Chains A and B, each alone.
Chain A
Amino acid sequence: MASRTVAKDIITLRGSAAIVSEFFGYAANSILYNRGVYPEESFAKVKKYGLPMLLTQDEENEIVGKEWLEAGKLQRVVMVIMSKATKEVLERWNFSIETDSDVVEKGVSREKSDREIMREIQAIMRQIASSITYLPCLDEPCVFDVLAYTDTDVPVPFTWIESDPKLIANPQMVKLHSFDTKIHKVDTLVSYKNDEWDEQ
């Protein structure tokens, strides 16, 4: 983990960015596993946030770079699940980020218990795992895309290109828990296409 003083529970900008970036990686993997986008064999069990988490077989699972988080330029990260055949957007996992501008500008640090942050993240992970009870089944093969909502002055790296927001028309929305490191606050919301059975 990045710079965090465990004794006094002080959190710096870099530490908070590391926590949030790590969270996105584990959350994305959890979503891919729970929604069945990729087969179970692709995942390995690891212990994280006090829960058995499933990760793909790789050293790094960084979806979003920490630079954007440290600069406070990242507003949202969205994981879009689309039908492979029709490219229709079926689900949108929206992670909204609020950054404390004072910390970014002045470089101050905040105080929050590490255990409490982990507890909050654990709650979100449990909700992601339990979301299969109300989300419609993904019967067809699906692919995923990662979108990042950033400030307009952010330079675009070569691994990213500008895109449309890939919205769902008349979605159903479910708001999940949020977690707050006192520097970055992340709200989670899943919007999904109305299932035909539900409409009937």
Chain B
Amino acid sequence: MILRTPPPKKQRAEPILHESPSPQVASEGRLVIYEDNPLAAPPPESPHQPSDHLLCTYQCRQMVKADFIDALSNAEKQIRDYQSKLEILNENLSKAEVERKKFRDQFLYAEQELAAAKGREQMLHDQLLKEVNDSQERFKKQLETNNELKGKLQNELNLRKKAESSAASAEEKAADIEGKLTQFSQSIEREKKQLQNELSQLKGESKLSISRISADLERTEFRANSAEKESELLKEQLEDLKKQLNECLNQKSEVEKKMSSFTFQEVTSSESSILIKHLQEELRNYESEVREARKLKSSHEDIELLKAKLLEEKGRRERAESELSKLQEQQICLSNLEKELSLWKLIMKDIPGVSCPEDIPVKFATLQKEVIASTMKIGETNARLKQIEVGLDAAQLAKQNAEAEAALDKEKAEILKSEVKRIELMLSMVTEERNKLSNAINELKRHKNEEAGDEVASGTVVQELESSLAKKESCIKELERSLHEQKEINDRQHNEIKMLHDRLNNEARRIKSLDRETDRLRSEISLLESKLGHGDYSASNTKVLRMVNTLAVDNEAKQTIEALQTELQKTKEKLQALEELKSQSGDTGKLVDSYISEKITKLKEQIATLEKREERYKTVFADRISVFRRACCELFGYKANDYTAQPEISHQVDIFVRKLNSIPAFTANLTVESFNRRTLS
């Protein structure tokens, strides 16, 4: 081992003296006389050399005594000096011991502090480990909760999708059924209206026919009455004629009597013969007239009967025809209604839980309730989903926070590790210093044993110790300051990070809520646009009208006009017949004239109304036919007036339109022909 404090240099004169007293002191007052003897050079090594070598005379003895006494006194002085020095050294030693004790206490204190630091470090390490374990456990738990939440979310999403799909299918079904129901209800209403219109028309027609029949009946009655009256008149005429004839016969018989009486007188004059001839001629004329009257009367009666029969037959035929047409229409309507009924029944069979039409609104109400319930469920699932999403977001945030905390804890652990390393370094430094101190203490001890106390060396050692202590204290203080500052910085940074995290979380939540709202609004907008584009409408505010195909309307008007025209013709014929009858009946019809005139006025009024109706229908027909012609022109691009007069066009119409049923082919042919004509011309 290398000694720090070199052993003191050995002086030639003094070391022996220095060393000599000690052996003297050690030995029992043995006097050793110095001789300049090389053998005595290593006296310390052999202090017990025999005194047999030493020889002196009396003078020498006295001199030696004096010298010895001087030397003794000097030695005593030196001893005193040495004692004083020793005392000083002892004091110094005690001081050094005190200082050593101090240093030792300080060393122990440092050791204690080191142990405490180690303990603290261990505690911190344990705490860190605990925190890391806790954070890992928390992280694991949060991961588990996150996974559970994810699983729940997926389940909820699946449920939601299923519910949405079921709701969508139910809605579609309900919408389809609604649409069908509305269509059917509309068609039912339309058909009801049509049937009601037809019914009213039929009622009107039946009333008209009844009135016609009653009018016909009245006419026939009137005719019958008139015929009866005529027959009575004719009978009266006949009776008159008979009476006249009888009178003529009586006159003839009288004249014959007279003539017979006159024959006796034989005064026959030509005048009487002429008179007789005249009378005979008149008789004959009267007979012929009577015969003619009878013939006329019979013929007239026959004609009347035939006319009446003809009219009746015509009326019956018309009625039969109209009723046949009505029957056909009714049969068509009936077949249509039966088809629709069968369709409804099929649809009702398709709809589950519906056995009769009355069940349809109930079923519809149940379906609506189901739709409402499903929408409510969808809303609830949406709310739950949103809650789960919020929870998931919170879990993710917590996870992020935990991750951040774990990172922070890792950083802390690393910082603590670095601190531990630093402390270990410090510890190594301190141990080194301790070793130094222990070496110094050993050296001090050595110094103490050798009675050598180099004040400078101990002082330097003490100073070195003090300086090293001061340095260590300053280092410790600096380290503590830096630790404190770093702790403060870390705390500040932690707080800032926490604040930023909170702000970030709030902003993220706001952004997510806004995203959800935008998605909801976009879905609503898309739904509304789809409904708008689809053509949905509210029946309470809106009705749908369609531009009519004017052809059917014109046909109906034509038919009504034709029917009215035939009626008009019939009434005109009847009126003519009545007028003829009136002219034929002559004087005897005076009684009937009033009745006939009333009837005639009524008929004229009817004719006027019918004519007005005819004119109205004609104007309507003219308007509609013009619209129809315009539509035809717009559609096909051609205008044809009186096409039937042109044989070519009528031929083309027969071929393309009637046989092939293709109007575009007809128009194409017309364009090609017109083009050819123009190019050729």
Which residues in A have some Cβ–Cβ distance to B below 8 Å?
38-39, 41-43, 56-58, 60-61, 63, 75-76, 78, 92, 94, 96, 141, 145-152, 154, 156, 158-168, 171, 173, 175, 189, 191
Write out, one digit per residue, whether chain B residues 543-570 have a CB within 8 A of any chain A CB (1) or not (0).
Answer: 1111110100100000000000000000
Range for the number of chain B residues in contact with chain A: 20 to 34
Residues of chain A within 8 A (CB-CB) of B547 are 63, 145-148, 159-160
Q: B630 touches which one: A39, A58, A158, A166 (CB < 8 A)?
A: A58
Q: Which residue of A lies closest to B539 (CB)?
A: A152
Say whether A175 contacts B529, CB under 8 Å: yes
Q: How far is the CA of A157 from the CA of B293 in the complex (A)?
A: 65
Contact with A along B614-654 (1 / 0, CB 8 A): 00000000000001001001111100000000000000000
| CB-CB contacts below 8 Å: B549-606 with A | 550, 553
Query: B637–A160 contact, CB under 8 A?
Result: no
Is the CB of B456 closer than 8 A to any CB of chain A? no
Nearest residue in A to B675 (C-beta to C-beta)?
A: A41
A189 with B532: CB separation less than 8 A: yes
The complex places the Cα of A163 from the Cα of B182 at a distance, in Å, of 12
A150 with B529: in contact, given A58-B633, A164-B186, A167-B535 (CB under 8 Å)? no
The 9 closest A-B CB pairs, nearest first, are A163-B546, A173-B533, A42-B637, A160-B545, A58-B634, A56-B634, A146-B547, A57-B637, A148-B545
Residue B262 at the chain A interface, CB threshold 8 Å: no
> Which among B152-160, B269-277, B663-671 touches the partner chain?
B663-671
Contact B635 A162 (CB under 8 A): no
CA distance A200 to B633 in the complex (A): 41
A-B contact pairs, 21 of them (CB 8 A): A39-B667, A41-B667, A41-B671, A42-B636, A56-B635, A57-B633, A58-B633, A61-B634, A76-B537, A78-B535, A148-B544, A152-B541, A152-B543, A156-B545, A159-B550, A163-B545, A165-B544, A167-B179, A167-B535, A173-B533, A189-B533
Shortest B463–chain A CB gap in Å is: 97
Contact A162 B637 (CB under 8 A): no
C-alpha gap A166/B544 in the complex (Å):
10
Bound Cα distance A175, B317 (Å): 62
Contact call A171/B544, Cβ cutoff below 8 A: no
B540 interface residue per 8 A CB criterion = yes
Residues of B within 8 A of A41 (CB): 637, 667-668, 671
Judging by beta carbons under 8 Å apart, are B543 and A150 in contact? yes
Closest Cβ of chain B: how far from A15's Cβ, in Å?
Answer: 25
Question: Residues on B close to A: CB < 8 A?
Answer: 179, 183, 186, 190, 529-530, 532-537, 540-548, 550, 553, 627, 630, 633-637, 664, 667-668, 671
Q: Closest A-chain residue to B546, C-beta based? A: A163
Supplied contacts A39-B668, A141-B664, A189-B533, 17 more A-B pairs, CB within 8 Å: A41-B671, A56-B634, A58-B630, A75-B542, A147-B546, A148-B544, A148-B547, A149-B537, A151-B543, A152-B541, A152-B543, A160-B545, A160-B546, A163-B545, A164-B186, A167-B535, A191-B533
- In whole Å, how far is A183's beta carbon from the nearest beta carbon of chain B? 20
Nearest CB to that of A29 among chain B residues?
B634
Contact B546 A171 (CB under 8 A): no
Query: Are A159 and B548 in touch, CB under 8 angstroms?
Result: yes
What chain A residues lie within 8 Å of B530 (beta carbons)?
A: 173
How many angstroms between the C-alpha atoms of A164 and B633 in the bound complex?
28
Are the CB atoms of B532 and A160 closer together than 8 Å? no
A95 to chain B minimum Cβ distance, whole angstroms, is: 12
Residue of B nearest to A191 (CB): B533
Interchain CB contact under 8 A, A161 and B671: no
- Nearest CB of B to A88, in Å: 15
Residue from B533, B546, B550, B635 within 8 A of A145 (CB atoms): B546
Residues of B within 8 A of A160 (CB): 545-548
Q: State how many angstroms separate the Cβ of B34 from the closest Cβ of chain A.
A: 135
A164→B183 contact, CB < 8 A: yes
- B548, A161: Cβ atoms closer than 8 Å: yes
B623 to chain A: closest CB distance in Å? Answer: 9
A162-B553 Cα distance, complex, nearest whole Å: 15
Among A146, A152, A161, the residue within 8 A (CB) of B542 is A152
Contact A159 to B667, CB < 8 A, known contacts A42-B636, A61-B634, A150-B543: no
Which of B186, B529, B634: most chain A CB closer than 10 A?
B634
Contact of A151 with B541 in the complex, beta carbons under 8 Å: yes
For the complex, what is the distance from the CA of A151 to the CA of B544, rounded to whole Å? 9
Asked if A161 and B546 sit within 8 Å, CB to CB, the answer is yes
A60 CA to B634 CA, complexed, in Å:
9
State how many angstroms separate the Cβ of B342 from the closest Cβ of chain A: 20
Distance (whole angstroms) from the CB of B175 to the closest CB of chain A? 10
Docked-complex contact B543 and A162, CB < 8 angstroms: yes
A residues less than 8 Å from B636 (CB atoms):
42
Q: How far is the CA of A175 from the CA of B530 in the complex (A)?
A: 10
CB neighbours (8 Å) of A175 from chain B are 529, 533
CA–CA, A152 to B630, complex, Å?
A: 29
A182 to B424, CA, bound (A): 86
- Is the beta-carbon distance between A39 and B545 smaller than 8 angstroms? no
Contact A158-B529, Cβ < 8 Å, known A56-B637, A145-B546, A152-B542: no
Residues in B whose Cβ lies below 8 Å from that of A96: 532
- Given contact pairs A42-B635, A57-B637, A96-B532, A149 touches B668 in the complex (Cβ within 8 A): no
Q: Are B540 and A152 in contact (CB under 8 A)?
A: yes
Contact B543 A146 (CB under 8 A): no
Complex Cα–Cα for A109 and B671 (A): 48
What B residues does A56 contact at CB under 8 A? 633-635, 637
Distance between B662 CB and nearest chain A CB, rounded to angstroms: 9
Contacting residues, chain A, for B550 (C-beta < 8 A): 159
A149 and B633 contact, CB distance less than 8 A:
no
Give, as a whole number of angstroms, the nearest-CB distance from A73 to chain B. 10
- Across the two chains, which residue of chain B brings its CB closest to A171? B534
CA distance A161 to B186 in the complex (A): 13
